[in-house]
Amino acid sequence: MAGNTFGKLFQITTFGESHGDGIGVVIDGCPAGLEITREEIQKELDRRKPGTSHLTTPRQEKDQVEMLSGIFEGKTMGTPIALLIRNQDQIPAVYEPIKDLYRPGHADATYDAKYGMRDWRGGGRASARETIGRVAAGAIAKKLLAHAGIQITGYVTQIGNVKITQVDESTITTNPLNCPDATVLDAMIQEIETARKDLDSVGGIVEIIARGVPAGLGEPVFDKLSADLAHGIISIPAVKGIEIGDGFACASKHGSENNDEWALKNDNNNNSHIGTTTNHAGGIIGGISNGEDILLRFALKPTSSIAKKQQTVDRNGTSAEIEVHGRHDPCVAPRAVPVGEAMVALVLADHYLRNKISRIETL
């Protein structure tokens, strides 16, 4: 019930503050017998960890994962899997001077309003470090999905005013931005560099594709696949919008343009199946996957922590000026790619399991 649990069958509970002892996650509901290594989890964490380029926060965190339970002799046991990542490079002293000030764009005031207190040593639970638990759990979800033939790919499509013009997936891992378009990469880097030099930050957009998703995933009417994806994605820090398939562009279209017609199609093995000839829907119809690629996009606001001077108040309402120094990403979109993939993986793993019990004839 409390808000730190996500998923219903493949269920995760995360814990930890940015400047506490560590960040962790308990995964409950992962089927027994799934092969998983520490390295497979670490690899995903390494994709989101800070300090890998001059375009991200210089905070040095190795983010080494410790597997506390649930895995034995290289396989999941069906028991809860607890993963712990210790915090190491904390400098809470940076925050001491501004501990009573409400940083614009930050959750300081809202945590105070809700809980009557907050961990002022950095972002606490509202820090993006919280997403470490999601990514660690997502690595296991991805492994389960691989078993089901599902792969997930994410990349940046926009940073500031620079948008991609093409997608070449082989390009994604060759640059620190997770950008799939070499032709705009320099311009994107420039957007970030400029923002940083201005003591400012900049927003962006990330796109995720899930391939190999079988038709049938999603539980209408409230746990539609689209609804659960939206829930998971919007819960990522800094995300302010999501769209599935053509999304907001649908609003100005006609049904005859937007409907995806059904046809008999051949898959890679030349087996025929019913599919659609276009994919405006982003692979989800009526809240259930239709066998086409799942496609979604989400918008990230510019990082709230900026060194530029801003007006604010302290917790008593007294006016003040603030400069937020700390160590922050001038643009969170690149590092949001593995986080977005993780959330999509978690939702799909959950629905993959839920769909296994939807028909009497397959029980």
Nearer to its own copies, 170 or 324 (CB): 324
Site for its own copies in 37-56 (CB under 8 A): none
Task: Name beta bridge partners: 276.
Answer: 262
Rounded to 5 degrees, what angle do the CA atoms 262, 263, 269 make?
130
What is the radius of gyration, based on Cα positions, of the chain? 21
| Beta-carbon count within 10 A of 63 CB | 22
Sites for its own copies among residues 159-188 (CB under 8 A): 159-161
Is the CB of 43 or the CB of 356 nearer to its own copies?
356
**Residue 31 contacts its own copies per CB under 8 A:** yes
Where residue 299 falls (left for φ over 0; alpha for ψ -120 to 50; beta otherwise) is beta
Phi, psi torsion values for 183, nearest 5 degrees: -75, -20
List the one residue out of 155, 173, 176 whose CA is nearest residue 51: 176
Kindly indicate which of the ranges 44-52, 54-62, 181-189, 276-284 contains the residues binding its own copies, using the contact rule CB under 8 A.
Answer: 276-284
Residue with Cβ nearer its own copies (106 or 211): 106
Burial of 319 (0-12, 13-18, 19+ CB in 10 A): exposed
CB of 281 to its own copies, least distance (A): 7
What is the pattern of x (binds its own copies, CB under 8 A) and - over residues 232-271?
xxxx-x-xxxxxxxxxxxxxxxxxxxxxxxxxx-------
Which of 172, 300, 336, 339 touches its own copies (CB under 8 A)? 300
**Rounded to the nearest whole angstrom, what is the least distance from the CB of residue 303 to its own copies in the complex?**
6
Stretch that binds its own copies, among 48-56, 167-175, 178-186, 307-315 (CB under 8 A): 307-315
- Separation of CA 294 from chain center: 15
Q: Which is nearer to its own copies, 170 or 300 (CB)?
A: 300
Do 297 and 205 contact (CB within 8 A), yes or no? yes
Least separation in angstroms between CB 173 and its own copies: 22
Q: Is 212 in the site for its own copies (CB under 8 A)?
A: no
Q: Cβ distance 275 to 291 under 8 Å? A: yes
* Per CB under 8 A, 335 contacts its own copies: no
Residues with Cβ within 8 Å of residue 295, at least 6 apart in sequence: 207, 208, 209, 244, 245, 279, 282, 283
> Does residue 338 bind its own copies (CB under 8 A)?
no
Q: Which of residues 82-141 bind its own copies (CB under 8 A)?
A: 82, 84, 102, 104-107, 109-111, 113-119, 124-126, 130
Q: How many residues bind its own copies (CB under 8 A)?
A: 166
